[in-house]
Amino acid sequence: MTVARLSISVLARTVSPLVELVKTFRTLLAAAAAVFAAAILTRPEARADSVADFYRGKELTVIVGYGPGGGYDVFARLLARHLGKYMPGNPNVMVQNMPGAGSLRATNYLYNLAPKDGTTIGVLARDMPLLGLLDENPAVQFDPRRFTWLGSSSNFSNDAYVLIVRKDAPVKSIEDARRPGGPDLLLGGTAEGATGGDVPKILRDALGLHIKQVLGYRDTAAIFLAMERGEVMGRTIDLSGTRSTRPGWLKPDSDFRLLVAFGRRTRHPDFPDVPTARELATSDANRALIEFTEMPLLTMARPFAAPPGIPADRAAALRTAFMAAHRDPQYIAEAATVGVEVSPVSADELTRSLDRMAAAPPQILDYARKLLAGEKRN
């Protein structure tokens, strides 16, 4: 072998490992760069930028399961005026009313048809989660445990679900409403499964009140009109909703009066003469029934949710913005002006309440199923 060939051979043996080393180094460097880039992209700031980029210039829709003018509509429009400033990207927020079947139509839409990208949320009837848990109604097309819950605008701590009637109704007192052979109290409501349709049945069964119902009214405004015309003698409704839409009805000299406060552990301080449903229960079993059926009021009086399956970072942004809006001084001032009580509940609290409802004693759940099916308890 010549000297030249030997030198080349030696050089080749020397350079080859160096080339492999350089290749290995480049591979490691590329892997490190990828890990670094992933870390940067998953930092909270990067995720926030991504959420802001998504929402910037978009429209966020709030679906309301009832028509304009009712309590749910008031809360939805109040939130819509403040939610956007707390959302990354500051999207425009609009309200869309979708009445029907006591908000069941809107609930099914939100769960099955609404975009699952974080651009649509909704406020549902407080009975909808229980209706879904019982899974008895074939029209129910949702599982409440899979919604992306944002929270509730109220826990009813300063509110009540009241039985309000005309002063010229044949029933003048609780004693009248309970008297054997006494007159029936004709109440208006929207639909089976809605709070206004179910609470009168609970008052009938647990308190022994003579109540009949006329269901099928489109929304709160239609029921109020029916009461003013004398088509029905009264209805059950949240106190704050009445204050915001018919404040004159709560004055001592009005043509209406309150008979019972549901969804209260104690009497409402503004109406100390109005007994609670718990006080009027005819037995311990009936009191337990009332406490169970009051649970949706006490933890999810105005529940807001997004569809299931939206991206986790957008769900987190919606939940954070929801709670922040309820702490906004301007929001609080506006709520006071329209007469609604705000006591926000977080998504975690609402979810825990759903778990407690699902774990209720079988006999209570069985009664609730019969109640929602329209059956009368023996």
In the predicted model, is pLDDT for residue 291 greater than 60?
A: yes
Whether residue 42 has pLDDT greater than 90: no
Rounded distance between C-alpha atoms, residue 244 and residue 288, angstroms: 31
DSSP-assigned states of every residue in 299-339: HHSSEEEE-TT--HHHHHHHHHHHHHHHH-HHHHHHHHHHT
Q: Give per-residue pLDDT as tens, 355-376.
A: 999 998 888 888 878 776 665 5
Stretch 240-244: mean pLDDT: 85
Helix axis angle, 362-372 to 195-207, nearest 10°: 120
H-run or E-run covering 151: strand 148-152
| Confidence check: pLDDT of 41 > 50 | no
DSSP string, 64-117: ESS-TTSHHHHHHHHHHHHHGGGSTT--EEEEEE---GGGHHHHHHHHHTS-TT
User: Which range is least confidently modeled, 162-166, 171-175, 271-275?
Assistant: 171-175
Please determine, for residue 115, whether its predicted confidence score (pLDDT) is greater than 60.
yes
Classify residue 199 by burial, with Cβ atoms within 10 Å: 0-12, 13-18, 19+: buried
**Spatial CB neighbours of 329, under 8 Å, sequence gap ≥ 6:** none
Compute the distance between CA of residue 192 and CA of residue 373 in angstroms, rounded to an integer.
Answer: 8
Q: Any idea where the domains of the chain sit in the sequence?
A: 51-155+299-372, 161-296
C-alpha distances (whole Å) from 357 to each of 127, 134, 177, 307, 313 are 12, 10, 30, 21, 28
DSSP codes of every residue in 243-283: HHH-GGGGSTTSSEEEEEEES-SS--TT-TTSPBHHHH-SS
Long-range contacts of 322-329, Cβ-Cβ distance < 8 Å, separation of 24 or more: 322/79, 322/83, 322/150, 322/151, 322/347, 323/151, 324/86, 325/79, 325/82, 325/83, 325/85, 325/86, 326/79, 326/151, 326/153, 328/82, 328/86
Residue 138 vs residues 134, 191, 201: alpha-carbon distances, Å: 11, 15, 21
pLDDT at 40: 44
* Cβ(197)–Cβ(189) below 8 Å: yes
Q: What kind and span of H or E run contains 204? A: helix 195-207
d(CA 334, CA 157): 19
Mean pLDDT estimate for the chain? 86
pLDDT for res 132: 92
What is the rounded average pLDDT of the residues 216-245?
Answer: 91
Instruction: Please give the average per-residue pLDDT across 16-45, as a whole number.
Output: 50
- pLDDT of res. 34: 53
The tens digit of pLDDT for each residue in 78-98 reads 999 999 999 999 999 999 999
CA distance 159 to 263: 8
**Token duo for residue 146:** 């899979």
Q: What is the mean pLDDT of residues 186-202?
A: 84
Are the beta carbons of 171 and 165 closer than 8 angstroms?
yes
Q: Which listed CATH number (3.30.465.10, 1.20.1250.20, 3.40.50.620, 3.40.190.150) goes with 51-155+299-372?
A: 3.40.190.150
Please say if the pLDDT value at position 19 is more than 50. no
- What CATH superfamily is the domain 161-296? Periplasmic binding protein-like II (3.40.190.10)
Strand 148-152 vs strand 303-306: parallel, antiparallel, or unpaired?
antiparallel
Whether 172 and 373 have beta carbons less than 8 Å apart is answered as no
Check residue 374 and give its pLDDT: 60
pLDDT of residue 88: 97
Reported as a single tens digit per residue, the pLDDT across 323-347 is 999 999 999 999 999 888 899 999 9
Helix 71-83, helix 312-327: angle, nearest 10: 100
On the 0-12 / 13-18 / 19+ scale of CB atoms within 10 A, 178 is middle
Q: Give me the helix-helix angle, 284-300 and 362-372, nearest 10°.
A: 70
Amino acid at 353: S
DSSP letter for 359, please: T
The answer to whether domain 51-155+299-372 and domain 161-296 are alike in fold is: yes
Q: What is the mean pLDDT of residues 203-219?
A: 91
Whether 39 has a pLDDT exceeding 70, the answer reads: no
The pLDDT value given to residue 16: 52
Residues in the chain: 378
